[in-house]
Amino acid sequence: MKIVLVLYDDPVTGYPKTYARDTIPKLEVYPDGQKLPNPKRIDFKPGELLGSVSGALGLKKFLKELEHTLIVTSDKDGPDSVFEKELVDADVVISQPFWPAYLTKERLAKAKNLKLAITAGIGSDHVDLQAAIAKGITVAEVTFCNSISVAEYIVLMILSLVKDYIPSYNWVVKKGWNIADCVQRSYDLEGMDVGSVAAGHIGLAVLRRLKPFGVKLHYTERHRLSEKVEKELGLTYHENLESMVRVCDVITINCPLHAETEHLFNDRLISQMKRGSYIVNTARGKICDAEAIARALKSGQLAGYAGDVWFPQPAPKDHPWREMPHDGMTPHVSGTSLSAQARYAAGVREILECFFEKKPIRTEYLIVDQGKLAGIGVHSYVAGDTTGGSERAIQFKK
């Protein structure tokens, strides 16, 4: 079989020969009791850089032994890209949300042999799910592998925005001691109302981590949490998003991107938020209207916006989020820490082992299977396509 693996580029300083730490903690189960990936073996040391081209998710030896053809590339955008050319006769495509190989309807039509699309991470919105359903292609992702990684990053971003940390750091870099400049937009999180859009693996983990900060917690979710959990965390449930954003000082977006959440945060919704609110978005960039966010920051309706998700990815150099004020944007890194990479690389290996041996893939990994939404896909997605506009990712190269 032919496997095409699309990963982000190696470090500009070269692939690391040593690492800051010798080991990473070994986990046995996720917080909800789900078992971690359990392949028959792995050919990498946990804590290594696996998500870039040279790391190849630790799959080279495994696939060579089975005499499969492996193509590893970071060149994914445009009709002349390596990915576009190799996709035509690929049996399996693997990519990450951080550097997604967009599988549009047009690309899937060209991929005559494609049977399986794997997301090395969580979030499969870079695949036209409706087209995958029509073509009988299985779509799978490594559920929960980096949910806690992202939840930790969200807490970091909330505090960075509210405390206005980044400008203060920049004054030190510039050799200054400008305390008045540093604190004129700095507040305490304590006592604020914080709301989560969705309370799945990531959203719930964020709410749990924020409880000790003395905040008032809110959430909205298609699948309401149990009364026990609501009472334990002191959560206020909102039946609709509009109700929640009106009362919250901070909103953290933790829902999947699908047809019903695309451009959910637009001018109309943002206008209903408290003046001076903050938004943290580590879910997907396209859940927000990029221009609306930039306008709200410039007008003061929003006090800050932080996130590490953009659309498309990589974001063109003229993307409005590269120039807007009071932001805390990073490239899509929250879910690809070295700790997370060990889990999602092992999960990809587990999925491939099942696929090659014609064994069932874990239900919790499935998004689309046998011509319909399946597994976690039924819970989290609606059939549709959110890849429109992804062709603009090629502009990053220009």
Q: Which residues are catalytic?
A: 146, 284, 313, 332
| C-beta separation of 250 from 154 below 8 A | no
Strand (E) positions, the chain?
A: 2-6, 69-73, 92-95, 116-119, 138-141, 193-197, 216-220, 235-237, 250-253, 277-281, 302-307, 327-329, 366-369, 372-373
How far apart are the C-alpha atoms of 230 and 228, rounded to whole Å?
6
Query: Cis bond leading into 212, ω under 30°?
Result: no
Residues paired with 230 in a beta bridge? none
How far apart are the C-alpha atoms of 80 and 391, rounded to whole Å?
12
Please give the angle made by the CA atoms of 156, 204 and 160, to the nearest 5 degrees.
Answer: 15
Phi-psi region of 366 (alpha: psi -120 to 50; beta: other; left: phi over 0): beta
How far apart are the C-alpha atoms of 391 and 174, rounded to whole Å?
38
Phi, psi of 25, deg, nearest 5: -60, 145
Q: Which of 281, 347, 378 shows the shortest CA–CA distance to 38? A: 347
How far apart are the C-alpha atoms of 23 and 237, rounded to whole Å?
40
How far apart are the C-alpha atoms of 156 and 165, rounded to whole Å?
10
Q: How distant, in Å, are the alpha carbons of 13, 162, 164, 359 from that of 18?
A: 13, 35, 33, 38
How far apart are the C-alpha atoms of 51 and 61, rounded to whole Å?
16
End-to-end CA separation in angstroms for the chain: 34
| C-beta separation of 375 from 124 below 8 A | no
Please give the angle made by the CA atoms of 179, 181 and 183, to the nearest 5 degrees.
Answer: 70
